[in-house]
Amino acid sequence: MRKLILGTRGSALARRQTQIVSDALRRIAPDIEIEIKAVQTEGDRRQDVSLEAFGGEGVFVKDIERRLAAGEIDIAVHSLKDMPARSPDGLTIGTVLPRGDVRDVLVGRGGARLDALPPGARLGSDSRRRAVQVLALRSDVEMISIRGNVDTRLRKVQSGDYDGVLLAAAGLERLGLIGEVSQFFSVDEVLPAVGQAVLAVQCRADDAETLSLLGRVDDPTTRAAITAERAFLDRLGAGCRLPVGAYAEVSGRRLHLRGLLADDSGRIARDDVTGAISDAEQVGVELALRLASELNLELVR
C-alpha cells in the first residue's frame, strides 16, 4: 500500500484521535507509511466567536475537506459530530471506528455534581443541545459560551471563571483526563449529539484503493447507528440550527433511535423509533418528522 497522508485539526484531541485511526490502519497494513498533516480550520482560527455566531455548519471540517478534494491529503480524520449530515460531492465517509462513550459529562469545580453547584452557577458550554437539556435538569444555572481546547476549558474551571464545564466523555477519555469528571449524564438526562464519540475517516469517493483499505476497519454496528442518526439530522435540515440530539443503539438486526429537538422558546420534544438495520435511513426520517410535528415546525425538503 502506498503512503497515506492523514489530515486533521491540530489540537491535542484531534492528534490523539488521528493516532487511533493510524494505529487501526497499521494493524491491518503494517508496512503502510503514514504522514499526519495538521490543518487549521475556521473554527480553530476564530476562538473569540461562539459556534452559534458562525451561522454555518462544518466550521471544523470544511478546510480539511478542501485539502482532501484537492489531493493534498489522502484521508481526513473527523469527530463525526462536527460533520454536516452530507459529505460534499466527491467525498465519502470511508470508515467509522467502534464508538466510544457517548455520554456528556460535567467537570465541576471541586468535583461538584450538578445538584451540588451553588445557585446561579456558571456553566461553560458552546452547545445549545447540552444547554437546553441541562437547564431542564436545573433551571437556575447560567449557561455561558466557552471556546478553546479541553485543557483551556478545564483551566477556566480551576481558576474560578466557571463553576463547571460540559464536555464529551469520549474526548476526555482519549486524552487520559476521564478522572476530571464530576458527573456522567445518562442518555436519558442528556441525549448526545448526532455521531458523538465516533471517529469518521473521509476520503475521495473515486479513490478505490483507499476505500478498500478503510473498509477493512469499518465497524458495521457503528455504521448502522450513525446512518440512522445522520438521516434524522438530514431530514431536519442537515445542519439544523435548533438544538438536536440523537442516539441509535443496535441489537441484532434491529435498531432503536432516540431523538430530541428543541425550538427557540426552549420547548423540548423527545421520541424514539425502532426498525430494522436495513431501514436505518427511514427510521431516522420518521423520527425527524415526528419531532417536527410535535413542535409544529415545518421542514423544508
CATH class, range 104-184: alpha beta
Query: What is the pLDDT confidence band of residue 52, given thresholds at 50, 70 and 90?
Result: low
- pLDDT given at position 41: 81
Mean per-residue pLDDT for 176-181?
97
Residues of the chain with CATH 3.40.190.10: 1-97+198-218, 104-184
Q: What is the CATH number of domain 1-97+198-218?
A: 3.40.190.10
Predicted TM-score (pTM) of the model is 0.93
**What CATH homologous superfamily does 219-301 map to?**
Porphobilinogen deaminase, C-terminal domain (3.30.160.40)
Instruction: Classify strands 4-8 and 75-79 as parallel, antiparallel or unpaired.
Output: parallel
Nearest-angstrom CA–CA distance, 11 and 174: 13
Q: Which residues are catalytic?
A: 82
From 19-28, 177-186, 238-247, 252-261, the region with the lowest mean pLDDT: 238-247
- pLDDT given at position 106: 98
Whether 268 has a pLDDT exceeding 90, the answer reads yes
Whether 59 has a pLDDT exceeding 90, the answer reads no
pLDDT digits (tens, 9 = 90+) for 200-211: 999 999 999 999
Query: What is the pLDDT confidence band of residue 47, given thresholds at 50, 70 and 90?
Result: low
